[in-house]
Amino acid sequence: MSSILVQVIVGGLLLGAVYALFSSGLTLIWGMMNIVNFAHGDFVMLGMYVAFVVWTLLGAGPFLGAPVAALVLATLGIIVYFGLIRSVMKGPMLAQILGTFGLALLLRYSVFWGFGANFMTLPENLVGGTFDVLGIRIQASRLLAGVVALLVTLGLHLLLTRTSLGSKMLAVAEDSTAAQLMGIRPDTMQAIAWAIAAGATGIAGALIATFFYIAPTVGETLAIVAFVTVSLGGFGSVPGALVAGLLIGVIESVSAYWIGAVYKDIVVYSLFLCFLWFRPQGLMGKS
Amino acid sequence: MRRLIWPSVALALVIAYPLLFSTPFQQRLGALILLYAIAASAWNIVGGYAGQVSVGHVVFFGCGAYASMAAYSHFALPPLVGIPAGIIVSVLIAAVIGVPTLRLSGHYFSMATIAVAELVRLIVTNTEFLGAAVGLSGPTVPRTMLDLSFTSALPYYYLFLSVLLITLGITWWMANSRMGFYLRAIRDSERAARSLGAPASRTKLYAFMLSAGLTSVAGALYAMMFGFVDPESGLGILISVKMLIMAALGGAGLLFGPLVGAAILVPLEEISNNLLGGKGAGLTFVVYGAIIVLIARFQPGGILTLIKRLWARGGKTPEPTVAAGATHAP
């Protein structure tokens, strides 16, 4: 393998870790309450803008941007849960889909209205420099984003599987009435799930903002990336989302390298449709 | 006979509208309302009656728009000739993508249709024959009447009105046929409908194909009125969203729901664009988004359902009205 291809694959893995992070939020919500958040990509977009504002106002990098974005988005998640999702969940299918779709438009165009449609970027030197490891060149910003995203995703997985909070959330996902009889409040658990999922998108947004373009419409693309990742990893599975996210990152980078950047989205979207059509249980699920 | 009085009055008012409100802006507004009402009514067959929330209908809209413009730019034919071609292509696409996609339910179906729409947009953007990112144009100067290129919006108004009446006629006929009953049964519970012997897959597919064909006519009319189509105006996801929200605001699964929705949202968009200029585009969609969230949260049945309920409460029997699609999906 040529060293350029290795470099492309490593870059894809690092980007894929960020994909995995925000996709695990989508999969968590799907697993707990069978709702697809169509505004998920716009949550990530919002995280990018929070990071941008933190940088312009305070001149602080991702070390401050990520926690602030996580906090802002987690708060938004809780507001969205109590203001919209809780009642929409009991409504017809049309209301569930419309609700988060409307939210997506609302967020996307509020940002468009406030910041304009122009593409923005954080300054190159915010997380500057490149490393040379064994002849492979890696941007520091991508390395930082990839490693942090990987750690947060693993942390999320541990939170869901190894803590009592995680067990309670799992109980609500399994059977919310039975959980209620055991003294667990489904409402609280679901609100926490929305806070965690939205917080994850906030961190992912702040990380990705260090090397990605920032624009109001970026959420549309990222939402589809999250859909692909979740469908590939199996709806509801965080480890599945992690593996699938890394895979999508690599597939995207390699196809951009081999057949051109224009076609990388075509490859990923086609893959998504093939999975939905022929293997909706994901790569690792049982039929 | 008495029950025909109000519909006749309404129809007479609709026919007289461009004569009563005769400034170019008002006539154009009227024509646009009817145009979007056609597209939203076509969406309503699948999204409202059958309860399959498609976010990819722009594909069929784009088929019609591109077919009519391609007829002109590649073969120097009147754009009108492209309409049958657009219908055939859309119905074929609907059949091909419908078979695997309609097996998916609820959120999965919506996600798949988004992906199809984005995929088609990306492919068209990279296809030279369809004008790539620039798009295709229609005749700049009308050669004959058949080019259907007018400077005034008045002819478009009556053209769109007749197409809308045909669309609503087909929808009404479908809703009252066996197919309509099957579709509503499927919307309320597909499993129950299947177990009672309704051919769910076939019926959904037919509805999807019918809806696709009608949507492509709306796309062709749109391209003829504006004289061009590009990937954003013909295949952008926002067009799907507009169909969806107009139908939902008026009342999804109700015959006149999409028309009511269009009559509210199109003036909102045109007026805010006029007042605020380019900057208004963002604000318009902020309002759109807020309206969708509010409908989903408080009135998923749409305005017509709300009016019906208030009407029933004001009358002597407070009968409980069932909102369109208000029953739970399993």
Where residue A121 sits, what CATH number does that domain have?
1.10.3470
Q: What is the pLDDT of residues B285-295, one digit of tens each?
A: 888 899 889 99
Q: Which residue of A has its CA nearest to B279?
A: A113
Helical residues (DSSP H) of chain A, grouped into ranges: 3-33, 40-58, 62-80, 86-88, 93-115, 140-162, 164-174, 176-181, 186-208, 218-233, 238-259, 264-278
User: Quick check: helix, strand or coil at residue A132?
Assistant: strand
- Contact status, residue A280 vs residue B104, Cβ threshold 8 Å: yes
Say which amino acid occupies B122.
L
Q: Is the Cβ–Cβ distance between A20 and A242 less than 8 Å?
A: yes
Q: A84 vs B114: CB contact, 8 Å cut-off?
A: no
Nearest to B34 by CA among B246, B289, B240: B246
**Residue B257: its chain A contacts at CB < 8 A?**
none
Per-position pLDDT tens, chain A of length 287: 577 888 899 999 999 999 999 999 999 999 888 888 999 999 999 999 999 898 888 876 667 889 999 999 999 999 999 999 999 988 888 888 889 989 999 999 999 988 887 888 877 666 667 777 777 778 888 888 899 999 999 999 999 999 999 888 888 888 888 888 888 888 899 999 999 999 999 999 999 988 888 999 899 889 989 998 988 888 788 999 999 999 999 999 999 999 888 888 899 899 889 888 887 766 666 54
Question: What pLDDT score was predicted for residue B150?
Answer: 80
Whether A282 and A232 have beta carbons less than 8 Å apart is answered as yes
Nearest CA in chain B to A277: B100
Q: How far is A264 from chain B (nearest CA, A)?
A: 10
Burial class (CB in 10 A: 0-12, 13-18, 19+), B155: middle
Q: How many CA atoms lie within 13 A of B36 on its CB side?
A: 29
CB contact under 8 A, A269 and B286: no
Residue A101: which of B101, B292, B327 has the nearest Cβ?
B292
Candidates B103, B286, B294: best to mutate against A (most CBs of A within 10 A) is B286
CA torsion sign for B64, B258, B107, A261 is: positive
| Among the partner residues A109, A231, A266, nearest to B123 by beta-carbon distance | A266
Answer yes or no: do B118 and A265 touch at CB < 8 A: yes
Q: Distance from first CA to last CA of chain B, Å, rounded?
A: 43
ipTM surpasses cut 0.95: no
Range of the domain at A202: 3-278
- Cβ of A92 within 8 Å of Cβ of B327? The answer is yes
Residues in chain A closer than 8 A to B112 (CB atoms): 273, 276-277
d(CA A23, CA A37): 11
A281 at interface of B, judged by CB pairs closer than 8 A: no
Helix axis angle for B154-175 and B178-188, nearest 10°, is 80
Q: Which residue of A has its CA nearest to B287?
A: A106
Closest residue to B248, CB basis, from A36, A87, A98? A98
Q: Is residue A287 part of a domain?
A: no
Q: Which CATH class is domain B32-314?
A: mainly alpha
Of B114, B252, B297, the CB nearest to A84: B297
- With vertex at residue B183, the alpha carbon angle to CA B179 and CA B188, rounded to the nearest 5 degrees, is 150
Q: How far is B130 from chain A (nearest CA, A)?
A: 17
Angle at A235 between CA B100 and CA A81, to 5 degrees: 115
Q: What is the pLDDT of residues B136-168, one digit of tens each?
A: 988 777 777 777 778 788 899 999 999 999 999
**Pairwise CB contact (< 8 Å): B293 & A84:** yes
Cα–Cα distance measured from residue B11 to residue B8, given in angstroms and rounded to the nearest whole number: 5
Give the tens place of pLDDT for each residue, B299-320. Answer: 888 999 999 888 888 755 444 4
Mutate which of A23, A79, A88, A93 to disrupt the B interface (most B C-beta within 10 Å)?
A93
Q: Distance of CA B98 to CAs A274, B109, B118, Å? A: 14, 10, 16
Half-sphere exposure of B284 (CA within 13 A, CB side): 20
- In one-letter notation, the amino acid at residue B311 is W
Helices B237-250 and B106-125: crossing angle in degrees, nearest 10, is: 140
On whether the CB atoms of residues A27 and A37 are closer than 8 A, the answer is no
Residue in A98, A227, A268 to test binding to B, most B beta-carbons within 10 Å: A98
Pair A231, A276: CB distance under 8 Å: yes
Say if A283 falls within a structural domain. no
Q: Do A108 and B285 touch (CB under 8 A)?
A: yes
Q: Which residue has the tokens 């401050």?
A: A64
Considering the domain boundaries, does residue A13 fall inside one? yes
Rounded to an integer, what distance in angstroms lies between the CA atom of residue B17 and that of residue B27? 8
For residue A138, what is the DSSP state?
E
pLDDT tops 60 at residue B321: no
- Ordered alpha helix ranges (H), A82-185: 86-88, 93-115, 140-162, 164-174, 176-181
Give the whole-angstrom CA distance, residue A139 versus residue A185: 45
Min Cα–Cα distance to chain A from B124, Å = 11
Residue A204 lies in a domain: yes
Task: Give the gyration radius of chain B's Cα atoms.
Answer: 20
Q: Determine contact, residues A104/A41, Cβ cutoff 8 Å.
A: yes
**Is the minimum CB–CB distance between A265 and chain B shorter than 8 Å?**
yes
Residue pair B245/B265 in contact (Cβ under 8 Å)? The answer is yes
Chain A partners within 8 Å of B116 (Cβ): 273
Indicate the SS3 state at residue B188.
helix
Mutation target for A interface from B49, B58, B111, B240: give the one with most A CBs within 10 A: B111
Q: Do B55 and A101 touch (CB under 8 A)?
A: yes
CB B129 within 8 A of CB B205: no
Structural domain tally of chain A?
A: 1
> With an 8 Å Cβ cutoff, is A229 touching chain B?
no
pTM of the full predicted structure? Answer: 0.89
Q: Is A157 domain-assigned?
A: yes
- Do you know the residue count of chain B? 330
Nearest residue in A to B251, CA atom? A94
Compute the C-alpha angle A37/A38/A44, nearest 5°: 85
Q: What is the C-alpha to C-alpha distance for residues A55 and A257, in angstroms, rounded to an integer?
A: 32
Closest CB to A109: pick one of B51, B116, B285: B285
